[in-house]
Amino acid sequence: MPRLSLTINGRAVKARQGETILGAARERGIFIPTLCNLDGLKPLGGCRICLVEVRGHPRPVPACATKVEEGMVVTTDSERVVSMRRMVVELLLAERNHQCPVCVMNNNCELQAVARLLGIDHVRYDFIAPRAVLDISHERFGIDHNRCILCRRCVRVCDEIEGAHTWDVNGRGAASRIISDLAEPWGLSGTCTDCGKCVQACPTGALFAKGTETTGKGTICLEKLVAWRQRREP
Amino acid sequence: MIPHQDYKTEADRHDAMEQILRQHRHSPDALIEVLHFAQENYGYLPRELLGRLAEQLKLPPSLVYGVASFYHGFRLEPRGRHHCTVCTGTSCHIKGGTALLAELERRFGISCGETAPDGSFSLDSVRCLGVCDLAPLAVLDDDIISAETIDALADKVCQCLAEKSSTGKSP
């Protein structure tokens, strides 16, 4: 296996051919934040949190989906990429309703962790605050679209690992929603195998297990949550 | 333009779908072609049809629905008997195309992309129709409607719609 030499943050690094920038950096203990990336799934390059600068490239590239090349000079912590990451996380926070204090994943959430890491204490953009729905028709799990960041981890884990492909994305842009089967309630899905991989793969509180404490995803009081969702706007 | 297919029976439509699926040898790659044909055949893509196609093309239903909902060219809801398209391209926008759309939305009480509850009328917008010299403009079924002011144009659309509805002429 040929070894390639490249430079990451001024450090000389050897990497295997076919490895991604993210993999090479991690091996050397260089931290790059990620959201849509999950080990074992094909990289998507969708969330743009792992953007890094490569000398000679006009635009930053996603570290999770870019293969290493001989002589590459990579910067993972320049002011430019850090400010871009910050912008991406702020846009994610503004797109749906991410209220950490009432979320099942509070303190276990990857979005929250990235926001904390980047020191985001406010959002510069107007919150869209969509009235997104909550689907608790499944016997054991629920999906709360208010928390979804459309990382497609659930879609990919269901397709690549479980092979069921129950999930997909409906529509496009900010109106996109994760759907099961023909945009039907999850509980009525004929393809879902009830395996729960999507719940484990979800980086936020969008997919959660009902009432069980063994999944590590926390528990949720559904009655309160439903009442809160159905509240009247003042 | 989608031909009006009221004369077709459900069995005819079903046979036509079977034929196009056979032509494509039930290959999953043919999804978009099959969806185009299905929309021409049925006028829109009903959910049951998408489920059936997914089964026959051996594709996950969520993927078929995802593709159908991704492209603006595919309709998941039936159109009204009369369909109005408002141009919101650059020329029309400068001449008030967006305001026209808002005015029509107000008059008919439906928003862009919706169909009136009685199925008589549907409203849609498009980026550019290539007749920028007539801006601003709307297309009702196949007829281009243009006027100097937004109000006059909205009046004209309502008038044409009333005429079409009274003669019972379908597009």
Q: Is the pLDDT of residue B87 over 60?
A: yes
Tell me the pLDDT tens digit for each residue of A101-110: 888 888 889 9
CB-closest option in A172, A183, A191 to B60:
A191
Per-domain boundaries in chain B: 10-70, 82-167
Least CA distance to B69: which residue of chain A?
A171
Name the segment(s) of chain A with CATH classification 3.30.70.20.
89-229
Judge: A170–B66 Cβ closer than 8 Å, yes or no: yes
pLDDT at B170: 56
Mutate: best of A159, A166, A181, partner B, most B CBs <10 A: A181
B65 in contact with chain A, both atoms CB, cutoff 8 A: yes
Q: At what angle do helices B10-23 and B31-42 cross, to 10 degrees?
A: 160
Q: Residue B64 in contact with residue B50, Cβ under 8 Å?
A: yes
Interstrand relation of A3-8 and A73-75 (parallel, antiparallel or unpaired): parallel
pLDDT at B171: 54
- Give the separation between CA B57 and CA B30, rounded to whole angstroms: 8
Judge: A182–B62 Cβ closer than 8 Å, yes or no: yes
The minimum CA-CA distance between B9 and chain A, rounded to whole Å, is 25
Domain topology for A89-229:
Alpha-Beta Plaits (3.30.70)
Judge: B62–A181 Cβ closer than 8 Å, yes or no: yes
The minimum CA-CA distance between B169 and chain A, rounded to whole Å, is 34
What's the mean pLDDT in A51-73? 95
Mutate: best of B50, B55, B62, B69, partner A, most A CBs <10 A: B62
What's the mean pLDDT in A15-36? 94
State the pTM of this model: 0.81
- Give the separation between CA A158 and CA A177, rounded to whole angstroms: 16
- Give the separation between CA A170 and CA B54, rounded to whole angstroms: 15
pLDDT at B2: 45
- H-assigned helices in A67-196: 79-95, 110-117, 153-156
- Give the separation between CA A117 and CA A111, rounded to whole angstroms: 10
CATH number of A3-77: 3.10.20.740
Neighbours of A2 (CB within 10 A): 7
pLDDT at B3: 47
- Give the separation between CA A63 and CA A3, rounded to whole angstroms: 18
Judge: A170–B60 Cβ closer than 8 Å, yes or no: no
Domain topology for B82-167:
Glutaredoxin (3.40.30)
Nearest in space to A202 (alpha carbons), one of A129, A105, A123: A105
Tell me the pLDDT tens digit for each residue of A201-228: 999 999 998 875 544 555 556 666 667 6
pLDDT at B73: 86
What's the mean pLDDT in B28-49? 93
The minimum CA-CA distance between B83 and chain A, rounded to whole Å, is 22
Residue A217 token pair: 């995803």
What's the ipTM?
A: 0.83
What's the mean pLDDT in A138-154? 94
Which of the pair, A220 or A194, is modelled with greater confidence?
A194
